């Protein structure tokens, strides 16, 4: 890739991670090396982890965080894990080993106070010219939006979850 860009997938609608996974699949199909580092997504495995094993070494997915959701009453452990993941993301970004790096749910990690927005802006500044960087998660900070080259907002119009349909294997996980 001659010139990489910074993409942000945000908003309250479904599809941010799904869009990033689709981009990753397209990139792998073109021979790119892709890494997806997932913040606050412990547990699993999710469907994308099962296919990543089949697409290795072109596609690597690294899952970080505790199983379950962030403990909003005491974020100390979640913050520690997110900070470790941030350091790993920084190393992956500058390593020269990947053409596309997806930082899945990094915006959510900022929203929960696990990572500071200044850290995300640091990653954007550190991005090598030939690396595509994708940042996903709800409520992307305005400074991240401003620093990005492309921003897509997923807007919920209707969702079956509100009708009582839980997350389904192979669709949401």
- From residue 156, alpha-carbon distances to 68, 78, 140, 172 in Å are 23, 27, 16, 15
Higher pLDDT among residues 172 and 150, named by residue: 150
Higher pLDDT among residues 149 and 168, named by residue: 149
Q: List the single range of 21-25, 27-31, 48-52, 58-62 with lowest mean pLDDT.
A: 48-52
pLDDT digits (tens, 9 = 90+) for 100-155: 999 999 999 999 999 999 999 999 999 999 999 999 999 999 999 999 999 999 99
Q: Is the pLDDT at 32 greater than 90, yes or no?
A: yes
CB 150 within 8 A of CB 10: no
How crowded is residue 111: how many other Cβ atoms within 10 Å of its Cβ? 18
Pair of tokens at residue 89: 């993301």
Q: What is the pTM of this model?
A: 0.94
141 closest CA partner among 171, 113, 167: 113
> Average model confidence (pLDDT) for the chain?
95
In 88-168 the beta strands, taken as DSSP E runs, fall at 100-104, 132-136, 150-153
- pLDDT, residue 162, reads 83
Question: Residue ranges per domain, the chain?
Answer: 6-155
Fold (CATH) for 6-155: Rossmann fold (3.40.50)
């Amino acid at each position: 890739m001659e010139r990489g860009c910074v993409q942000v997938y945000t908003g309250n609608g479904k599809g941010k991670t799904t869009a990033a996974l689709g981009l990753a699949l397209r990139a792998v199909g073109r021979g790119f090396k892709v890494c997806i580092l997932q913040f606050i997504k412990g547990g699993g495995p999710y469907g994308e982890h099962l296919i990543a094993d089949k697409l290795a070494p072109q596609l690597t997915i690294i899952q970080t965080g505790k199983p379950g959701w962030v403990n909003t009453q005491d974020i100390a452990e979640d913050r520690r894990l997110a900070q470790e993941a941030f350091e790993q993301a920084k190393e992956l970004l500058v390593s020269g080993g990947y053409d596309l790096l997806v930082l899945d749910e990094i915006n959510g990690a900022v929203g929960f106070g696990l990572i500071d927005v200044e850290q995300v802006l640091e990653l954007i500044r550190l991005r090598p010219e030939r690396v595509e960087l994708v940042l996903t998660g709800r409520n992307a900070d305005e400074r991240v939006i401003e620093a990005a080259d492309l921003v897509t907002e997923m807007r919920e119009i209707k969702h079956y979850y509100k009708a009582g349909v839980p997350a389904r294997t192979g669709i949401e996980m």
